[in-house]
Amino acid sequence: MSVTHLEPTVLKIAMAGFFHDLGKFVDISCLDLPRDYLENNAGSFLPVWNGKYSHWHALHTAAFIDSMADYLPLACSDPKWGKGEAFIRLACAHHRPDSPMEQIITQADHISSGMDRETFDSDRNKSVDYRDYQKTRMIPVFSHIRIDEDRQKLVLEDIPARYPLKKMSPESIFPDAKEKVMPAGAADARREYQEMTREFLEKFKRLAHKNDDASLWFEHADSLLMKYVSAVPAARVGHVIPDVSLYDHMATTSALAAALYLYHDHFETLDNTSIKNDSLEKFLLISGDFYGIQNFIFNGYGDTRKYRSKLLRGRSFSVSLMSELTADLICQKIGLPHSSVVFNAGGRFTVLAPNIPKTQDAIQEVRSQVNQWLVARTFGETCIGLSCVPATGLDFQKGRFASLWDQMTGAMDDVKFSRLNLEQHGGTATTQDYLDRFHNDLSPGICPLCGKRPADIDVQLDDIHVCAMCRDHVFLGENLVKKIYAVICDSNSRPAGKRLKDPFFDGYQIFFPDHEAQDDSNAAFDVILKKEQVIKYWKIRATSGDESTEVTEKYINGYVPVYTQADVGDDDEDIQPGMPRTLNDIAASAAANGRGTQALGILKADVDHLGLIMACGLADNLYTISRIATLSRQFNHYFAVFLPELLENDDRFQNVYTVFAGGDDLFMIGPWNRIIDLVHVLNQTFQQYVCQNKEIHFSAGISVHKTHTPVDVLAATAEAALDESKKQGRDRITLFDQTVTWPQFLELKQVEDEMIQWLDQEWITNVFFYKLNRFIDMAEKEKDLLEKHRTLHMQDMACTRWRSLLGYSVERNAGLKLSREERMDKVLYIRNKIIQWLGLYRGSLKIPLWTIQYNRR
């Protein structure tokens, strides 16, 4: 595969669409401008309303482009770059378009944002004066998600939360009380914008690749802008709903502009009348989904556990990577920029493309190329499904986008049940090809790491012949925790050092350059670009104190526990600081001071009814592509931005291993007791993240295992626990085969704390504490008898004696070291407490009981 460079006009119009509203963020007092700049240029870009210029943000965008010309790609200042007007005209004349190319940006802006400026329904809403626009703070979309209630009424003053105007961080992505966030006055509001602008400008000046590859630079700029304008509301003046991020509005405008240009260029209708026509199906929404993720990551670990952790990391990363690369392959074949990928998280993506024959051909080619590659390696266990839905400009607007979203969901559901072309990928030819790949002179002939694919005679790990895919997964797993940057290039490239043996889809090579973040980064980046045909240049890992943003930051590499200097002993020759901890050592960390069970806890969780939330959670008049983009990105950021930071910086969770976390779900491995602590924190923080909205919640399942347990068993049991939580009503957690609601889980934590107090103060003996298991079983059997309403026999009634037996046992075992008077009080208290707990929780009382028992063994 050779790198396909974007047609210059497509890149220009996509970048213009992306930058068109940047003036809403940049405070022009931070720019080096001539004193009369605004006065001299207002007539070129601004419309006139009631005898006065309006929409000043367009001129502010022009001011940014002019003042930062030295830090933009050289093409941006070249009047001959692509077709049509200069870049600055396309980016800044969308409120006063004078040509068809300028009209494309205007139309894209209208489709993306037209209904994002929807007025509130209540007269109580206060209009925001244009002079106070900087005081407006973004409200969370989460705050007004409703599935079962009236979703038509939305009152700004009733929404208590706002996002702080800060660059994106694990802390700032959380909404806070509006009293804490809202600026006291216009001066404070402007100061916040100025501080953000100054910091952004310094970062912007350091973006890599501006002189060598404008398309690659554009992706880096996109990443930087996401960091700085995600919390800036796209609409701030008048009766507005400021819940859509400026970043998502800019990104979707870019995608729409590229698609519109390619559509009208293909049909030779680049005229204002045709561009304004919203009734034609000009767009094609291409959705992709990775099927068989669980099988791909967890099934097949062969005879050796030596590479288990590296394989887990490599396989998980590969899932995210293959989704990214499939979307990129579609864009390359159509001739679209990276910004055309409007949704991308959790193995799913959507590309906004022009509805032209070339797009349909590209879908067929990519579907065949990608799945042919996957079938040859996973034998049908995994594949990527692609669907497409045509759309008009009107379909994106008020009252109609919800229906378009339903069509997209339905199309993907149809693909799910016909994932592979059996005529192409099935039959004896596929079987024969598999058998022909075995080498008779290798023993064993099958890869010992996966136990599925034939071992490759040319591929070895520690003198063991393995298949190329497993070797590559180990290679990825090793480097993800060591390297800061990843470069994806054409498969014909031959970068120095280690690289993939089997490039993805026979077209994408990946390697990890050695330069560090503190290098003279632009020089280091440019050297690699001159040597290789680079497609993507990503920063995949942040180091402590490192805020460098020269290249695209990708949040697809989860937290991995590593050894520190304190872990290295005199006899630990194989352990070095920075090396990933083994699963054995992670399990061992569950014990403390020689006490406690050494075991792994496996946590699987996902957001409940996410599809329903995305499809039905908003009022019809609020469904727009940029609002859905904001919502999708914010869900993903909880798992991909906040969670890794929590694990790294909270001492309790630094030994918890992220297998995957993104989109709407997570899978984690850690010390069993820390996993239980973690899920409490996740439930609490997730509720804070979604504004305590009772209709947005997640279900979880935890299983506990010894370290020798096969990976596929770890995954299957955690998945079964999660399924049980969903079967019993969702918004629940299953632990020790007991399913409870989140409020009950918190109550049981309080029960655990009280039980620990009894043991520590020797109010009860260890013998009695273990006997509680018997009473729990009896209480659970009694509950079953009462609920089943069947004929009872005498032998069934034994379980009903648990209260009297419990009272006797408490009398014999509680408060033995207390005075007579104290003992009587404690016996009565403990008996009544346990009877109360058993009445409330029955079998679920095993959760605190077993947690304490495992911690004290």
Q: Secondary structure of 446-507 in the HEC alphabet?
A: ECCCCCCCECCCCCEECCEECCHHHHHHHHHHHHHCCCCEEEEEECCCCCCCCCCCCCECCC
Q: Tell me the mean pLDDT in the region 226-255.
A: 91
The predicted model scores a pTM of 0.93
The structure tokens listed for 164 are 């702080």
pLDDT value at 317 more than 50: yes
The structure tokens listed for 324 are 């990214």
CB 374 within 8 Å of CB 339:
no
Query: CATH topology of 280-429 equal to that of 562-735?
Result: yes
| Greatest mean pLDDT range, 425-434, 488-497, 794-803 | 488-497
Write out pLDDT tens, residues 472-500.
Answer: 999 999 999 889 999 999 988 777 678 99
What pairing do the DSSP bridges indicate for beta strands 341-345 and 348-354?
antiparallel
pLDDT value at residue 120: 35
CATH number of 562-735: 3.30.70.270
pLDDT value at residue 441: 81
Comparing CA positions, the residue from 661, 662, 496, 622 lying closest to residue 235 is 622
Report which residue type is found at 391: A
Q: Tell me the mean pLDDT in the region 251-269.
A: 98
Write out pLDDT tens, residues 544-563.
Answer: 666 778 999 998 778 899 88
- Percentage of the chain surpassing pLDDT 70? 90
pLDDT value at residue 121: 37
Show Cβ contacts of residue 500 under 8 Å, excluding neighbours closer than 6 positions: 472, 475, 509, 510, 511
pLDDT value at residue 346: 83
- Compute the distance between CA of residue 398 and CA of residue 395 in angstroms, rounded to an integer: 8
Q: Which residue has the higher pLDDT, 244 or 441?
A: 244
| Greatest mean pLDDT range, 735-744, 761-770, 777-786, 805-814 | 735-744
pLDDT value at residue 493: 78
H helical segments located in 589-696: 610-616, 625-637, 643-649, 672-689
Q: Which residue has the higher pLDDT, 127 or 394?
A: 394
Write out pLDDT tens, residues 619-631.
Answer: 888 889 999 999 9
Comparing CA positions, the residue from 720, 778, 711 lying closest to residue 296 is 711
Lowest mean pLDDT among 119-123, 218-222, 283-287: 119-123
3-state helix, strand and coil shares in percent for the chain, rounded to the nearest 5:
50, 15, 35
Lowest mean pLDDT among 172-186, 283-297, 561-575: 561-575
- Compute the distance between CA of residue 645 and CA of residue 558 in angstroms, rounded to an integer: 10
Residue corresponding to tokens 């929780």: 841
pLDDT value at residue 518: 47
* Domain regions of the chain by residue span: 8-115+208-235+243-270, 280-429, 562-735, 749-856
Comparing CA positions, the residue from 209, 384, 195, 152 lying closest to residue 286 is 384
pLDDT value at residue 123: 38
Confidence of residue 521 (pLDDT cuts 50, 70, 90): low
Q: Tell me the mean pLDDT in the region 95-112.
A: 95
- Compute the distance between CA of residue 477 and CA of residue 774 in angstroms, rounded to an integer: 46
Q: How far is CA 705 from CA 46, 432, 531, 585, 700, in A?
A: 66, 39, 48, 14, 17
CB 646 within 8 Å of CB 681:
yes
- The mean of the pLDDT values for the chain is 89
Confidence of residue 116 (pLDDT cuts 50, 70, 90): very low
Q: Tell me the mean pLDDT in the region 807-830.
A: 86
CATH number of 280-429: 3.30.70.2220
What pairing do the DSSP bridges indicate for beta strands 600-607 and 698-705?
antiparallel
Lowest mean pLDDT among 259-263, 272-276, 573-577: 573-577
Q: What are phi and psi of 440, to 5 degrees?
A: -65, -20
Q: How far is CA 68 from CA 61, 201, 317, in A?
A: 11, 9, 36
pLDDT value at residue 520: 47
CB 697 within 8 Å of CB 742:
yes
